Structure 1
């Protein structure tokens, strides 16, 4: 599916006079100027949503551009289109596109960064986004344990720091049933403390942390346990707490 979307996007760019050459891209307008993937995304990704296609096909084409260019800006254009004057993009296609790319056996940094800074840090969208990419089917992830589902779960857990604790706690607790997800839950707890928009409840987070099967020399494990036991919710609310923990644990 992703390969088909990528090839459709390549054909669409060719229709715009843009083609890939070696490590870059060129346009018919300026064939001597080598463009980066980000420059292509900045210049053309938004045009996808002006195509004479229904919204679902526009969105599929945009995801194809994301596969082709692997550039975060494409996800920005998707978000802009979703918030634009027209009706929101079809939610089933939107979130299925995210899920597919989180499950793919390839780098998903642009997708996870998009979730983190755009969807999860915005508390008007974080609950829905988290539910769609993991919360709604964490039971299936734990039951099936396929590599694709585990890839998605790890990626989402690791960048879930900004999601409200009341939204993500039950998902963390269900994910704990799989030792293969324990390291990702730890990363989620760590970013929940350190992210400027991170959210956790110290006692509940500590109870989860204490049940994770982690190597005793896991970096930052002792410090995180220390700040949670002291009742600290966030690094930015207690700016000296982490350094105090580091000194106490050294």
Structure 2
């Protein structure tokens, strides 16, 4: 909440304020702006502020909380990858973890992880470790609502993470029945995502350890394609349809 209000004050200093139905600039109070327009217009400016990089990151996350727009996460990533980067890792990944644990919709954060950090092989291992891999033992042995929310969200969007990176976390998560549905969704994404990655025999072994209702949607076809040795839907585009027909 503190970050959100700091971002609101910062926008006000830029001449941007929230009104009923959207946002306006002081110089054009009759022109209503969407949150997306505000994000595109001002998020990059956060990283030009004359404050240390850690405070810039906190302000950017506050802007994300306030606007709930994916573009803010893009500017965070751009800043991390800029000549002035990288951003302070502790503040950066703490910002992601805190929002992944929040009891509210965090679609922009999950989408950012999925398409920006996890799909990029230069960042996927570090990102996955920071948002889940380093903590998965604690999640399983000391589960809390917040930790379980974070684990579920990360597992479900982790399809593009290299299998060798995420398999240990998947196997640890499988020790906790509360995470079995999320592990299943992670496996399914690992097969279906364009950049999804898995090892079929290992993935099948893990799938067989999950306690899931037998009528779980896509469970049977996923087991079928893994047993046949298929690694990814896009490499064997007809295999999934064949598996669905085989189970019908």
Report the TM-score range of the alignment, normalised by the length of the smaller protein. over 0.9
The one of 149, 163, 166 equivalent to 2:164 is 166
| Residue correspondence of structure 1 range 60-209 to structure 2 within 5 A | 60-209=58-207
| Offset, 1:29 | 2.2
Cα distance in 1 for residues equivalent to 2:100 and 2:42: 24
Cα distance in 1 for residues equivalent to 2:173 and 2:9: 41
TM-score in terms of structure 1 length: 0.98
> Can you give the 5+ residue segments of structure 2 that lack an aligned partner in the other structure?
none
Deviations 1:52-96 (A, max 9, x none): 100000000000000000000000000000011113100000000
| Residue correspondence of structure 1 range 34-45 to structure 2 within 5 A | 34-45=32-43
| Offset, 1:22 | 1.5
Secondary structure (helix, strand or coil) at the match of 2:134 reads helix
| Offset, 1:33 | 1.1
> Can you give the 5+ residue segments of structure 1 that lack an aligned partner in the other structure?
none
2:13 equivalent to 1:15: yes
Q: Residue in 2 aligned with 1:56?
A: 54
Cα distance in 1 for residues equivalent to 2:83 and 2:7: 24
The 4+ residue runs of structure 1 with deviation greater than 4 A are none
Cα distance in 1 for residues equivalent to 2:37 and 2:135: 36
Q: Residue in 2 aligned with 1:215?
A: 213
| Offset, 1:143 | 1.1
| Offset, 1:120 | 0.2
TM-score in terms of structure 2 length: 0.99
| Offset, 1:147 | 0.3
Residue correspondences, number: 248
Q: Please report the RMSD computed on the Cα atoms of aligned residues, expressed in angstroms.
A: 0.6
Cα distance in 1 for residues equivalent to 2:213 and 2:73: 36
| Offset, 1:141 | 0.5
